[in-house]
Amino acid sequence: MNPADGALPVRDDVQDDRAQAIRDALHNAIVERRLSPGAKLVETEVGELFDVSRTVVRASLQMLAFEGLVKIERNRGAFVAHPTPDEARQIFESRRVIEPEIAERAAERMTEADIRLFQAHLKDEERLLAERGPNARRAAIKASGDYHLMLASVAANQILERFMRELIARSSLVIALYGQSGASSCARSEHADILDALVARDGKKAAEVIRHHIDHIEEDLDYKLAGNAPLRQALRL
Amino acid sequence: MNPADGALPVRDDVQDDRAQAIRDALHNAIVERRLSPGAKLVETEVGELFDVSRTVVRASLQMLAFEGLVKIERNRGAFVAHPTPDEARQIFESRRVIEPEIAERAAERMTEADIRLFQAHLKDEERLLAERGPNARRAAIKASGDYHLMLASVAANQILERFMRELIARSSLVIALYGQSGASSCARSEHADILDALVARDGKKAAEVIRHHIDHIEEDLDYKLAGNAPLRQALRL
DNA sequence: AGAGATGAAATTGTATGCAATCCGATTTTC
DNA sequence: GAAAATCGGATTGCATACAATTTCATCTCT
């Protein structure tokens, strides 16, 4: 299993030590909303920050573009993705396809050790939600996503896990743009409900609960909020 | 919809004209089995072939690595992927998760025009299966995969469509490695059965048929065939 | 002869340079 | 005064140069 707190899980094997590291750092920054949708990522800036040449930065940005977290526009540069309402709908539709099945498989494979990890993680989530301040807020957002990734990791299918990693990260962007209540990612008790179903090894129930969970997250969105800044994007095209 | 025969569908938008082109060319070569699993892709060679510098080739190879069609080993280079039996199982499990749902959605959205495209495509598949010779064989393999991609394209979810594109391509690799009978990808009548269900707008049925179809494809595999060449790969590690 | 050491050729990883493109501000024109 | 044109700086796209690493063949020693 994937440590509940740790850095972003590595892709397949170690490939580009440094590019991977930068990718992970940017990935985290985006998921934790320290980088807002639409923000420009200048190659030289990132390069200086990590002390590597543009070549390496470029590789990282391309990776992020593949995950849909960054949009690269030719001759214009890389920007943190700014999902449209339509993309957002597709993201949640995809999650509704994949996550319930992941939950079913997780229910079959859940070990005692996994259960303890999930319980510990739930405690963390609770604690972070109780705290105040932007840092706790960020940590809570990340923890909420990580919960879903833990699920994927128990299901023991690395491909689906990677798909989920992409979908969760992009969901975070969508919520940042279109979430209304602060409570977006935080239907906390539902995470507990999911765990209950898993512990009971009731795959169908787990799938059902997760479907509702996804519904609830999406219900809290308002796609009419044009996202606080399609800025130049909107005016350009 | 995606033309039945055409080049690989573009990713999101036009990004790296040239890198994209090379990616597509290699992708097709792999899917059509003109490049075998394990084959090494030397950057300068590919570069000379397409008349671009290694920089561009590198970008293409990274894209392919993301799709799982190519494996990049640090300081050793890029190789056409050589899926293990375990990866193969994960690929088909993922397809069983995603494709039935895609079929259901496709059943809802299928237009008259789509139906005609599918019928035309089926005719093509039939014709190619009747022909002899390695080129017809290759075309048949590609056409079989394209059928599934057409389905994904009707379902109108670009994310799932991309996931499917990856899974189909990797399936082709798996079949090349572990397929026994030549008939692997060719349970032709099943493609027709799927279309029947779609035309009848019976989503559940379509999902069911496709599940069986995937089962049949996987049943024709023998993971004990260690794949005709883990070559250096096997001896190295 | 076979196991290991040695070195040259091939290949990849990364930095850098240059041309092309884009962006913003100022200037020009009506 | 507003629209258009112009220009300089900034930034990206791509090729290339160089260092690090691997690969493969030859040589050495037992």
Q: Cβ of A159 and B90 within 8 Å?
A: yes
One-letter amino acid at A14 equals V
Output the pTM of the full model: 0.90
Residue of A nearest to B101 (CA): A97
Taking residues A169-195, what's their average pLDDT?
82
List Cα–Cα distances, B203 to A28, B40, B206, in angstroms. 39, 43, 5
Band of the pLDDT at B10, cuts 50, 70, 90?
very low
The pLDDT of residue A11 is 37
Residue B129 has pLDDT above 90, yes or no: no
Q: Which residues contact A67 (CB under 8 A, 6 or more apart)?
A: A27, A165, A166, A169, A170
Q: Compute CA B161 distance to the chain's CA centroid, rounded to the nearest angstrom.
A: 12
List Cα–Cα distances, B108 to B100, B114, B155, B201, B202, in angstroms. 13, 12, 8, 6, 8
In tens, the pLDDT along A75-121 reads 999 999 999 999 999 999 999 999 999 999 999 999 999 999 999 99
- Residue A13 Cβ under 7 A from any strand C atom: no
Tokens of B166: 């990856």
DSSP string, B77-98: EEEE----HHHHHHHHHHHHHH
Closest CA to B181 of B213, B145, B225, B127: B225
Percent of chain B whose predicted confidence (pLDDT) is above 90: 74
Looking at the C1' of nucleotide D12, which residue has the nearest alpha carbon?
Answer: A75
Closest CA to B167 of A13, A64, A105, A97: A97
Q: Alpha helix locations (H) across chain A?
A: 17-31, 43-50, 54-66, 85-109, 112-130, 134-154, 158-178, 188-199, 203-219, 231-236
**Cα pseudo-dihedral A165, A167, A173, A178, rounded to 10:** -150
Q: Cβ of B68 and A163 within 8 Å?
A: no
Q: Cβ of A17 and B101 within 8 Å?
A: no
In tens, the pLDDT along A37-67 reads 999 999 999 999 999 999 999 999 999 999 9
